[in-house]
Amino acid sequence: MVGIGGAAESTDMVLNIGPQHPSTHGVLRLKLVLDGERITHAEPVIGYMHRGAEKLFEARDYRQIIMLANRHDWLSAFSNELGVVLAVERMLGMEVPERAVWLRTLLAELNRVLNHLMFLGSYPLELGGITPIFYAFREREELQHVMEEVSGGRMHYMFNRVGGLKEDLPAGWTRRARGAVADVRSRMDRFDDLVLGNEIFRGRTRGVGVLSPEAVHAYGVSGPIGRASGVDFDLRRDEPYLAYGELGDVLKVVTRQEGDCLARFECLLEQTHNALDLADACLDRLAELPPGPVNQRLPKVLKAPEGHTYAWTENPLGINGYYLVSKGEKTPYRLKLRSASYNNIQVLTELLPGTLVADMVAILGSMFFVVGDIDK
User: How do the pLDDT tens digits run along the chain, 376 residues long?
Assistant: 444 554 445 578 888 887 765 555 568 889 999 998 999 999 999 888 877 889 999 999 999 999 999 888 989 999 999 999 999 999 999 999 999 999 999 999 999 999 999 999 999 998 989 999 999 999 999 999 999 999 999 889 999 999 999 999 999 999 999 999 999 999 999 998 899 989 999 999 999 999 999 999 999 999 999 999 999 999 999 999 999 999 999 999 999 999 999 999 999 999 999 999 999 999 999 999 999 999 999 999 999 999 999 999 999 999 999 999 999 999 999 999 999 999 999 999 999 999 999 899 999 999 999 988 888 7
Q: Look at residue 352 and tell me if it is in a domain.
A: yes
Rounded to the nearest 10°, the torsion over CA 156, 158, 162, 166 is: -150
Cβ atoms of 179 and 336 within 8 Å: the answer is: no
Cβ atoms of 78 and 69 within 8 Å: the answer is: no
Distance of CA 352 to the CA centre of its chain: 22
Q: Look at residue 27 and tell me if it is in a domain.
A: no
pLDDT given for residue 25 in this prediction: 59
* CA 310/CA 184 separation, integer angstroms: 35
83-95 burial, b for 16+ CB within 10 Å, e for fewer?
A: bbbbbbbebbeee
* CA 306/CA 190 separation, integer angstroms: 52
**Domain boundaries, position 193:** 52-374
Q: Look at residue 25 and tell me if it is in a domain.
A: no
Q: Look at residue 44 and tell me if it is in a domain.
A: no
For the chain, give the number of residues.
376
Q: Look at residue 271 and tell me if it is in a domain.
A: yes
pLDDT given for residue 371 in this prediction: 87
pLDDT given for residue 157 in this prediction: 94
Nearest to 75 by CA among 143, 161, 23, 167: 143
Q: How many domains does the chain have?
A: 1
The model's pLDDT over 282-332, given as tens digits with 9 standing for 90+, comes to: 999 999 999 999 999 999 999 999 999 999 999 999 999 999 999 999 999
Phi, psi of 367 (to 5 degrees): -85, -10
* CA 355/CA 352 separation, integer angstroms: 6
What is the CATH classification number for the domain harbouring 345? 1.10.645.10
User: What is the C-alpha radius of gyration for the chain, rounded to an integer number of angstroms?
Assistant: 21
Q: Look at residue 337 and tell me if it is in a domain.
A: yes
Q: Look at residue 33 and tell me if it is in a domain.
A: no
Q: Look at residue 284 and tell me if it is in a domain.
A: yes
pLDDT given for residue 1 in this prediction: 43
Query: Which residue stretches of the chain are H helix?
Result: 53-57, 65-69, 77-92, 98-126, 131-151, 173-187, 189-191, 199-205, 213-219, 223-227, 235-238, 261-288, 340-346, 348-351, 357-365, 371-374
Cβ atoms of 44 and 346 within 8 Å: the answer is: yes
Which residues neighbour 171 within 8 Å (Cβ) at sequence distance 6 or greater? none
Cβ atoms of 300 and 310 within 8 Å: the answer is: no
